[in-house]
Amino acid sequence: MRDEQLLRYSRHILLNEIGIEGQARILASHALIIGAGGLGSPVALYLGSAGVGHITVVDHDTVDMTNLQRQVAHCMERVGQPKAHSARAAIAAINPEVQVTPVVARADAALLDTLVAQADVVLDCCDNFATRQAINAACVRHCKPLVSGAAIRFDGQISVYDARDPLSPCYACVFPPDTDFEETRCATMGVFAPLVGIIGSMQAAEALKLLSGAGRTLTGRLLMLDGRAMEFTEVRIARQAGCPVCGAH
């Protein structure tokens, strides 16, 4: 690690749980972020500032004025630009050493099959059920840890689904793919701006713990936040033997 890196990441290195070895693992890692909106913005900024060596950001959308209320990786000057490119610019402004690969495309099964295989950790920051299921299936197939977050109105949730752990459930164990799920979107339901920052920051924290080996992750636990009262509720979640996604693995 160069002197400049020792200085930049000194506050991580001072932590016994991370140290030089853990920071070196972060520097050598590859994170895949699906979605560069409300959740993906803090995820991208914190992973970039922490020195994750390679970050791939996938988002098909462009920056809109209505995004700026909560999507802190974007700014007025980049309205109309692809969010993936805007996120790359935001990371570069903080830490130009990080390699960022923007992918302006929908995260379908074929794309995920390629990108998930290349990553050390996957962060689900998207806003629709079908994509979440596709991300989970790819993570199970390639045995990659998944940090999944969601936020709408004043309610948020986060968990880690680690396919490397035989006891860990996958996303489909908790939210079965055949569930009649009613989509809720920010455009119609609204979202409290700091909520996505809280959940997204927690996703970044879980990813950095996975990459560095520090602490205990949220594997096997679903953490839910009521932003109105600022109260957390934790639910233990278990692997389902009959899960159509991870049951066969």
Assess if residue 213 is contained within a domain.
Answer: yes
Query: Distance (Å, rounded) from C-alpha 159 to C-alpha 169?
Result: 10
Q: Say if CB 69 and CB 193 are below 8 A apart.
A: yes
**pTM given for the model:** 0.96
Which domain range does residue 135 map to?
3-147+192-217
Instruction: Assign residue 208 the CATH number of its domain.
Output: 3.40.50.720
Sign of CA dihedral 104, 106, 111, 113: positive
Domain count, the chain: 1
pLDDT tens over the chain, length 249 residues: 899 999 999 999 999 999 999 999 999 999 999 999 999 999 999 999 999 999 999 999 999 999 999 999 999 999 999 999 999 999 999 999 999 999 999 999 999 999 999 999 999 999 999 999 999 999 999 999 999 999 999 999 999 999 999 999 999 999 999 876 666 666 678 999 999 999 999 999 999 999 999 999 999 999 999 999 999 999 999 999 999 999 866
Assess if residue 111 is contained within a domain.
Answer: yes
Q: Say if CB 172 and CB 246 are below 8 A apart.
A: yes
Assess if residue 165 is contained within a domain.
Answer: no
Q: Name every residue whose Cβ is closer than 8 Å to that of residue 204 and which is 6 or more positions away in sequence.
A: 42, 43, 46, 47, 50, 123
Query: Distance (Å, rounded) from C-alpha 193 to C-alpha 164?
Result: 34
The two three-digit tokens of residue 45, written as one number: 């900024």
